């Protein structure tokens, strides 16, 4: 159990997993885990994926209790889409620096400066911000959402400035971009890309569009400083699909290190290297086996969203899912 992908010693994990499985069956609960969670949590989850996949699974599940192993906005999204279910988060303090970078009040003021603009919010936002939004998106479907909006409409994109910059360059749309960032992805710098490119010239380079290196990487691609062959800007789910299909045997992955666990598990004959071992989200890593056990046992840390607010936020999320 190395590389920051596991947290709990095997002998301790076995007992905790046995307790969790007993409680899961007793409660008729399902466990959802994000790609950035510890390896042992991904291994025991009923579903592992990105924010969109988690939301879709939660909405389709018949289970009365959903345990969301991710950050708080993900549990909120499940509560919005599944108001009849009990949604639990093992640690209510598992927040998100990107979601915290804009408030509903700030968004309302920004909208007032651009009347008639279409608001597109990355799913990494609070329920209050989603309620002020026209469309939600994930990194996986953001470009599709942008292209679905009539070309004569200005777009306000929030809160991630790196993903927004990437979308503006790829679509050529008239977009205003909020100056927010995920502090983990923003820590991925062009120098890391250069170092890994030099160290592993034959590896496929997979870059998440939230990364601080995206704008410079796109410039490098345009000028030929980085070869387009073997360089891919992809969502986490896009990375996972690409790695499974690619003839490459080595991959450098520029996103949170938790996704390496699923990649290695699905492709045991290939090698995956983090862009840097430091790219780990402390909020995601607040979720542990002990906290999952306690949450299921005591039904603690329930996440709810006030019905009127949930109804407004649900429209933007459902538009995202429809696309």
Residue 130 lies in a domain: yes
Residue 229 lies in a domain: yes
According to the model, what pLDDT value does residue 323 have?
Answer: 72
Give the tens place of pLDDT for each residue, 259-297: 999 999 999 999 999 999 999 999 999 999 999 999 999
Give yes or no for a contact between 66 and 30, defined as CB atoms under 8 angstroms apart: yes
Q: From 150, 183, 216, give the residue that closes a domain.
A: 183
262 and 212 in a single domain? The answer is: yes
Residue 5 lies in a domain: no
Residue 319 lies in a domain: no
Q: Let me know how long the chain is.
A: 323
Give the tens place of pLDDT for each residue, 210-243: 888 877 777 667 667 677 778 899 999 999 999 9
Band the pLDDT of 3: cuts 50, 70, 90: very low
CATH number for position 243: 3.40.50.10800
Task: Check the CA dihedral 215-168-122-51 and report its sign.
Answer: negative
Distance CA 186, CA 179 (A): 12
Residue 322 lies in a domain: no
26 and 71 in a single domain? The answer is: yes
Structural domain of residue 144, as residue ranges? 99-183
138 and 171 in a single domain? The answer is: yes
| Mean pLDDT of all residues in 34-51 | 96
pTM to 2 decimal places:
0.91
109 and 171 in a single domain? The answer is: yes
Residue 247 lies in a domain: yes
Number of domains in the chain: 3
Give the tens place of pLDDT for each residue, 52-108: 889 889 989 999 999 999 999 999 999 999 999 999 999 999 999 999 999 999 999
Residue 311 lies in a domain: no
The rounded mean pLDDT for the chain is 92
DSSP annotation of 117? P
Distance CA 136, CA 251 (A): 30
Among 162, 195, 163, which residue's Cα sits nearest to residue 277? Answer: 195
Residue 321 lies in a domain: no
61 and 22 in a single domain? The answer is: yes
Find the helix or strand (DSSP H, E) in which 106 lies: helix 104-113
Q: From 155, 183, 211, give the residue that closes a domain.
A: 183
């Amino acid at each position: 159990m190395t590389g920051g992908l596991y947290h709990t010693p095997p002998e301790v994990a076995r007992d905790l997993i046995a307790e969790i499985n007993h409680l899961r069956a007793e409660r008729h609960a399902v466990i959802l885990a994000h790609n950035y969670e510890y390896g042992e949590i991904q291994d025991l989850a009923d579903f592992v994926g990105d924010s969109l996949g988690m939301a879709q699974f939660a909405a389709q599940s018949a289970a009365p209790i959903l345990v969301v192993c991710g950050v708080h906005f993900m549990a909120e999204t499940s509560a919005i889409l599944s108001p009849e279910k009990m949604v639990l988060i093992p640690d209510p303090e598992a927040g998100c620096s990107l979601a915290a970078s804009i408030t509903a009040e700030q968004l309302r003021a920004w909208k007032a400066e651009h009347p008639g603009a279409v608001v597109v919010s990355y799913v990494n936002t609070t329920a209050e911000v989603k309620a002020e939004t026209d469309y939600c998106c994930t990194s996986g479907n953001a470009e599709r959402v942008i292209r679905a909006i009539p070309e004569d409409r200005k777009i306000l994109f929030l809160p991630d400035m790196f993903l927004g910059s990437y979308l503006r360059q790829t679509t050529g749309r008239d977009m205003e971009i909020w100056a927010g960032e995920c502090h983990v992805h923003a820590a991925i710098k062009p120098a890391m890309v250069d170092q890994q490119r030099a160290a592993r010239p034959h590896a496929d380079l997979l870059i998440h569009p939230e990364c601080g290196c995206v704008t410079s990487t796109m410039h490098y691609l345009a000028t030929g400083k980085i070869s387009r062959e073997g360089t891919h800007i992809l969502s986490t789910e896009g990375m996972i699909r690409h790695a499974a299909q690619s003839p490459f045997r080595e991959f450098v992955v520029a996103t949170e290190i938790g996704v390496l666990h699923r990649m290695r598990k699905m492709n045991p004959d290939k090698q995956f290297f983090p862009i840097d071992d430091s790219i780990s989200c402390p909020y995601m890593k607040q979720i542990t086996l002990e906290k999952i056990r306690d949450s299921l046992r005591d039904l603690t840390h329930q996440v709810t969203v006030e019905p009127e607010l949930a109804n407004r936020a649900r429209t933007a999320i459902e538009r995202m899912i429809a696309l």
